[in-house]
């Protein structure tokens, strides 16, 4: 292993905040305990430019010249926060990998604390947990709470409450995530689902240092749908439950119809009609539910569309070919 810590930073139109971000991140990384006696580098920073349309690539090129530990990756189009992190994880070489936002909402100083905890307790994952979200908008907190309540009710995760995408992962964890075939991953559910030894570190969610949030409601909804379909068959299972309920109801109806017939309270033909309609309806729903289960499984297996395409990598040995779309792994 040549690098101790890789820091993966997804960024989309973050030119305003980048200088502030670097000024805070760099001292933290330079002062990490140096235990790399084999001469390996202490850290690398992988900035994933998620197809920014502002000055972000220009600022990154300037930074490249004065910061040897920086590696810049640019995606061809805006692929989204999660895909950008995935692109960085795929290329991170560190024994430890930290993912954090570029907007300084996740304080870089916490990285040292995460590292110390992970090493002293031999953990695979240390989650940054927001103990104070007062800097987030009311709407953001409310929707976040609703999302986690829903996903928990569906039994899809046991992720620590308040954990976002600020986390430290061991090499084994990153390898495990990279090896997963799914492309549209929601990492805050994927990582806990591995069940590796983990702990949490609390931190205060700061206000964005500059620029504005890149997470409109539509994106939040798309990530939520990805989370549900990726981690839960509960929506599909609803049909099965309806079917079972319908089946139970039709059995009761059958008993009632037969009793009514025996009691002689019916007109001819009523019993058979009701029983047939109820039973067939129930069986149809049940079959639909079962079908849904299988379609859901096939669907998730087939979802191998790449989550992003690469446009540039500052660490590429040969000049990057614009026409070449790499197909390695999830790229």
* Binding residues vs ligand UDP (CB under 6 A): 10-12, 14, 50, 78, 80-81, 84, 101-103, 105, 213-215
- Residue 10 interacts, among Mg ion, ligand UDP, none and using kind-specific CB cut-offs from 5 to 8 Å, with ligand UDP
| Per CB under 5 A, 82 contacts Mg ion | no
CB of 215 to Mg ion, least distance (A): 7
- For Mg ion, the closer of residues 78 and 271 by Cβ is 78
DSSP code at position 135? T
Nearest Cα neighbor of 175 from 122, 96, 120 is: 96
Extended beta strands in 188-284, E state: 198-204
226 contact choice in ligand UDP, Mg ion, none (CB below 5 to 8 Å, kind-dependent): none
Closest CA to 313 of 295, 331, 297, 286: 331
- Judged by CB under 5 A, the chain residues 86 through 105 that form the site for Mg ion are 101, 103, 105
In terms of Cα–Cα distance, which of 173, 288, 308 is closest to 239? 288
- Choose from Mg ion, ligand UDP, none: what does 166 bind? Cβ within 5-8 Å by kind: none
Residue 16 binding partner per list ligand UDP, Mg ion, none, with a CB distance cut-off of 5 to 8 Å that depends on partner kind: none
User: Whole-angstrom Cα distance, residue 176 to residue 314?
Assistant: 25
Nearer to ligand UDP, 91 or 214 (CB): 214
Q: What gap in Å lies between CA 270 and CA 290, rounded to an integer?
A: 30
Nearer Cβ to ligand UDP (12/203): 12
Q: Which residues contact 102 (CB under 8 A, 6 or more apart)?
A: 9, 10, 11, 14, 17, 18, 21, 47
**What's the closest the beta carbon of residue 272 comes to ligand UDP, in angstroms?**
60
Binding site for Mg ion (CB under 5 A): 101, 103, 105
């Amino acid at each position: 292993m040549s690098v101790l810590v890789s820091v993966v930073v997804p960024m989309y139109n973050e030119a305003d905040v980048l200088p502030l971000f670097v000024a805070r991140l760099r001292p933290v990384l330079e002062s990490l305990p140096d235990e790399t006696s084999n001469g390996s580098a202490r850290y690398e920073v992988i900035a994933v430019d998620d197809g920014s349309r502002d000055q972000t690539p220009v600022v990154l090129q300037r930074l490249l010249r004065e910061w040897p530990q920086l590696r810049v990756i640019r995606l061809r189009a805006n692929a989204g926060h999660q895909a950008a992190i995935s692109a960085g994880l795929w290329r991170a070489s560190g024994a430890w990998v930290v993912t954090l936002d570029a907007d300084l909402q996740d304080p870089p100083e916490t990285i040292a604390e995460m590292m110390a905890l992970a090493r002293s307790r031999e953990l695979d994952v240390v989650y940054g947990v927001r103990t104070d979200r007062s800097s987030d908008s009311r709407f953001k907190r409310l929707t976040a709470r609703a999302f986690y309540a829903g996903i928990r009710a569906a039994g899809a995760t046991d992720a620590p409450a308040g954990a976002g995408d600020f986390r430290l992962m061991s090499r084994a964890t990153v390898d495990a995530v990279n090896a997963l075939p799914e492309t549209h991953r929601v990492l805050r559910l994927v990582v806990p689902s591995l069940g590796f030894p983990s702990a949490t570190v609390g931190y205060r969610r700061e206000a964005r240092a500059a620029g504005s949030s890149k997470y409109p409601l539509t994106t939040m909804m798309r990530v939520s749908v990805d989370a549900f379909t990726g981690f839960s068959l509960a929506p599909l299972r609803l049909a099965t439950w309806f079917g079972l309920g319908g089946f139970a109801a039709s059995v009761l109806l059958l008993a009632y119809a037969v009793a009514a017939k025996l009691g002689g309270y019916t007109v001819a033909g009523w019993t058979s009609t009701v029983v047939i309609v109820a039973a067939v309806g129930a069986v149809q729903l049940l079959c639909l539910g079962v079908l849904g289960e299988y379609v859901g499984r096939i669907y998730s297996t087939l979802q191998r569309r790449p989550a992003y395409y690469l446009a540039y990598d500052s660490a590429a040995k040969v000049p990057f070919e614009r026409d070449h779309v790499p197909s390695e792994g999830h790229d």
